Amino acid sequence: MDARSDFTTRMIQADGIRLHCTEFGAGPPLVWLHGAGPGASGMQNFGGNVTAFPGRRNLVFDFPRYGGADKPVVRDGLFSYNARQVVAALVTLGVAKATFIGNSMGGATALRIAALRPDLVDRLVVMGSAGAIPEDEPLTPTLLMMVDVLRNGPTRDKIAAIGRDFVHDPALVSEAMIDERLRAASDPELLASGKDTMLKPESLVADLPRIEARTLIIWGREDRVLPLRWAQPLIAGVRNAETRIVPHCGHWVQIEHRDWFNRAVADFLSD
């Protein structure tokens, strides 16, 4: 994660809670929405990407229950709840239209926003997005481990196993990253509210034809969290979507192939 003096951080009022936001650059807004791994945060997911876009107003959010955001009990559908909070935070910030970039849970949240509020979305980039898991398929072992952390709490072994499943090359998951994520996932406030939290994923397949924004779908070929075959409903359902499949890559395209990802997004935004 980059730590730079030209990053600003603050708490943003959303819908009854506050989201943590890191801001960098100036220009048309670019909203970054992270994934759901235990101990995740916006800058941990995207710290190596935002500095490639200094001509944009980069807004990197921590979702509810992650990073520096508030840790509420959540009983609503996960993607709808997150979407409501992000939209409310953007109202607080005075953002009327933005491009959204989302990984996994963040991708599903961005898709939900694009379906419900097409006026708010200029373009859309989603990587290994949740929201379209086939009903007849069981959860992957990695997703089951993530559910176990929510229900029973984190351990270092659980965090390490999940992190290494997220990437094609396990060497990319450092001991320092594991330690950082374990600390975040062990936050006492998070653990206390987690006992009453039911994070319900939602199927967004019915939403997809309503998405008007031009969309770039990116998927790691070796993704073990949300396998490549789960991209098909998004590819078929989003009318204005193009797709890039990245070889030798797992769930974190933006980390595993950072330079390629930054160029691909820059090209998509400028085209």
Residue 168 appears among annotated catalytic residues: no
**How is residue 109 written in tokens?**
């949240």
Give 245-249 contacts, CB < 8 A, sequence gap 24+: 245/218, 245/219, 245/220, 245/221, 246/218, 246/219, 246/220, 246/221, 247/221, 247/222, 248/168, 248/169, 248/221, 248/222, 249/168, 249/220, 249/221, 249/222, 249/223
Catalytic residue among 34, 168, 251, 257: 251
The gap from C-alpha 110 to its chain's centroid, in whole angstroms, comes to 8
* 25/6 Cα distance (integer angstroms): 8
Phi and psi at 175, nearest 5°, equal -60, -35
> Residues 6 or more apart from 244 whose CB is under 8 A from it?
216, 217, 218, 219, 264
Q: Active-site residue numbers?
A: 251
